[in-house]
Structure 1
């Protein structure tokens, strides 16, 4: 895919936005979210009830799998709350986000929402998108050239390291949440930190109260490892392997969002498993659009992109991973 260096055609997005608005796809879906949140909460609580019922048994590893899915589904709801898809007003979004994010799954909702909004503003921009800032994984040949230490060592064969490293992603998010709240200027610092601490006490307290230390440690590793893989596997198909932008790329809003995003084809099961983030192009163009409306918006956006000559990429799930991993391998080629 060739990225034009400079394009300024903001009216293209305005025309698309009018079509989307006329179709009623920006309207809130309160009944949908009431049902979705209720079912997810029941699944979450049911997994913890099963944990207590199973007791001292290696069968708890199956419970860990279910809890990883429950935590991931709560994460998707937290994501929608952060984009104001559920409530129009800020306060109910913040309250629900803190309960689900900080208390429910132990992730700093405020910190993550701020970070994620920076990603939306400049997707796949190596200077402004925190999701492609060089850390352990590097995303462009320029980042490889500047890398040192562990990132440089990993980059050589980072496509092979990618999924194993995702087992640490949940731990990374937990630690980053606490670190962000150590800053005295952090917004809602006291309630966010209090809820994170309550989650940690209840989570570790229950695990070690029900299980002996050896089973408890394995349970924690499996649960948090699968939670990290689940989160990473749902976000990786969206942008990884797509063009990485630099300061030389001056694109209008529509092209900046469409050309750096990838959709994943699938049915209802794919939608549920990926939190409907498989409609990534539509989500990036209209981040406040309720998730169930993204499927209906997809053909409208695809047709419009064809009309104005903008590349629109949609693949299957396995192929999306293949594209992302091939990109990572190609980026590290110079080190091999």
Structure 2
């Protein structure tokens, strides 16, 4: 019998019985960048997968998986997949080899010891039952939102459309819509029900019938944000840069040096409060319908139509079309303002850059911060005051964030990772301070940039 050859480094051999071994340097070549966008490999638990022909069929979206091409995706895989055993069955057809034994568990740019301790923490978290949902909590949360929604209509029904009931109804409707937003966020992260299907169906119902948006669009955008937070060209939440805002000192200096000026960025801290929510509202309305049409998500389109039919039938007979339009768009603006300030207080003041391929913990902590806990802060932010814990464990039910927070703090302290916690007002103020600093950095670079003669 001929002796078996030793596994070697290099390109995979089809049909080989011995696993092909690779180095991080070889894997990094297949990053889907430049002229070979479809040449994409990634690593999960030291196994190497070729996703070049799969990423477009990825159920979570082609972009989110492509963001890890040429990188280790182990912790992102764990964070986004509830049933890892089931998903791994589909990965077998993509398997082309594994890391060589002399290769570390992650790329040199990552903190191997920190990752090891974090993965141990993930095991502890599951043993503590912190990934299990409390149905009573979510049931009461949903009930109080429904009551707010009904109250907005009853105020008009009983008191008419004079300015006092109009204002109170508008505020109540906006509050209900914001709280629906936090609830659909829970469903989108598969954290309300144990089963994925139940979360997906209720997500479509809440996002569609109760909010008027497509759940699949939210998943497509939000999963990318969690995968690479504050990474320019990978995090969709940075799409406002540079159209409306210049975010982060580094990116702002680049814009200035290139003499780019879509807006007077040095005044962005002054126009943020009006422009950001004012742009978000029509943008969401238009982009969601465009997404539905291009992706042919007709079931979600049906759910969206039920939302508009519902509010038309509830409000127009009571207040007429013109007053209803004022009621609806003012409420949407208030909702957009609430949403923008809460979601950006944890991110805009933090580090914004291109993808530096940091380890999971360092990447999330560099891009997120917390806001102090109180019953009001928890309710007002949908528990996104625990943004650090949410980003590290996106499928964890929000009522368990406060339980895991001390463990995360301890992990960060051990490895010297900055764990920031602020008051709510400080977090809001930091948005404006950060925008001013970025705007000033842009202006300085813009004024001193050399122009081609």
- Give TM-score, length-normalised by structure 2: 0.68
d(CA) in 2 for partners of 1:191, 1:22: 38
Confirm or deny that 1:304 pairs with 2:407: no
Aligned pairs for 1:85-100 (under 5 A) are: 85-100=191-206
Q: Which of 133, 136, 140 is the aligned partner of 2:244?
A: 136
Counterpart residue number, 1:223: 331
Alignment of 1:110 with 2:216, yes or no, is yes
The answer on whether the counterparts of 1:154 and 1:161 sit within 8 Å (CA) in structure 2 is: no
Q: C-alpha separation between the residues in 1 aligned to 2:148 and 2:190?
A: 24
1:171 maps to which of 256, 276, 282: 282
| Alpha-carbon distance between aligned partners in 1 of 2:223 and 2:416, rounded to the nearest angstrom | 27
Of residues 33, 36, 39, the one that matches 2:144 is 39
Which protein has the bigger helix share? 1
1:23 alignment counterpart: 128
* Larger relative contact order, structure 1 or 2 (CA cutoff 8 Å, min sep 6): 1
Structure 1 pair 154–77 and aligned structure 2 pair: CA distance change class (3 A): farther
CA contact (8 A) 1:101 1:109 kept: yes
Unmatched 5+ stretches in structure 2: 1-107, 445-453
Rounded Cα–Cα distance in structure 1 between residues aligned with 2:208 and 2:311? 12
Call closer, same or farther: CA 1:259–1:16 in 2, change over 3 Å. farther
CA apart distance, 1:88: 2.2
Correspondence 1:182 to 2:293: yes
1:272 Cα offset (Å): 0.7
| Partners of 2:249 and 2:171 in 1: CA distance | 36
Shift of 1:141: 4.2
In structure 2, the CA distance between the partners of 1:286 and 1:107, relative to structure 1 (3 Å rule), is same
Which residue of 2 is the match for residue 53 of structure 1?
A: 158
Distance in 1 between residues matched to 2:264 and 2:318, nearest whole Å? 38
Structure 1 residue 107, shift from structure 2 partner: 2.1
In structure 1, which of residues 259, 281, 291 is the aligned counterpart of residue 388 of structure 2?
A: 281
Q: 1:237 to 1:206 in 2, by over 3 A?
A: same
Alpha-carbon distance in structure 1 between the residues aligned to 2:130 and 2:250: 40
* Contact 1:138-1:151 at 8 Å conserved across structures: no
Given that residues 132 and 194 in structure 2 are in contact (C-alpha distance below 8 angstroms), is that contact kept between their aligned partners in structure 1? no
CA distance in 1, matches of 2:260, 2:311: 32
Contact 1:12/1:254 (8 A) holds in 2: no
Which ranges of structure 1 fall in alignment gaps of 5 or more residues?
none
Distance 2:130 2:285 in 1: 34
Secondary structure (helix, strand or coil) at the match of 1:251 reads coil
Q: Partner residue of 2:229?
A: 123
8 Å Cα contact 2:153-2:315 kept in structure 1: no
Could you say if the C-alpha distance between residues 86 and 149 of structure 1 is closer, same or farther in structure 2, counting changes exceeding 3 Å?
A: farther
**Distance of aligned partners of 1:213 and 1:30 in 2 relative to their CA distance in 1, 3 Å threshold:** closer
Give the distance between the partners of 2:322 and 2:191, measured in 1 at CA. Answer: 42
Identify the range of structure 1 (193-202 vs 104-113) with the bigger mean alpha-carbon deviation. Answer: 193-202
Q: Which residue of 1 aligns with 2:433?
A: 326
Give me the whole-angstrom Cα distance separating, in 1, the residues matched to 2:417 and 2:341: 27
Partner of 1:243: 351
Aligned to 2:119, the other structure's residue is in SS state: helix
1:185-226 residue CA offsets vs partner (Å, 9 max, x unmatched): 35xx11111121222233245433322455334323321111
Rg (Cα) greater in structure: 2
Aligned-partner Cα distance in 2 for 1:304–1:142: 29
User: 1:248-281 CA deviation, whole Å, 9 max, x = no partner?
Assistant: x231111111121110003111101110010000
Give the match's secondary structure for 1:38: helix
Question: Over residues 215-238 of structure 1, what are the superposed CA-to-partner deviations in whole Å (9 max), with x where a residue is unaligned?
Answer: 334323321111111111221112
Q: Alpha-carbon deviation of 1:29?
A: 1.4
**How far 1:143 sits from its partner (Å)?**
4.2
The answer (yes or no) to whether the contact 1:61–1:222 under 8 Å persists in 2 is no
Cα 1:209–1:150 shift into 2, 3 Å: farther
CA 1:34–1:216: 2 relative to 1, 3 Å: closer
Q: CA deviation at 1:180?
A: 0.8
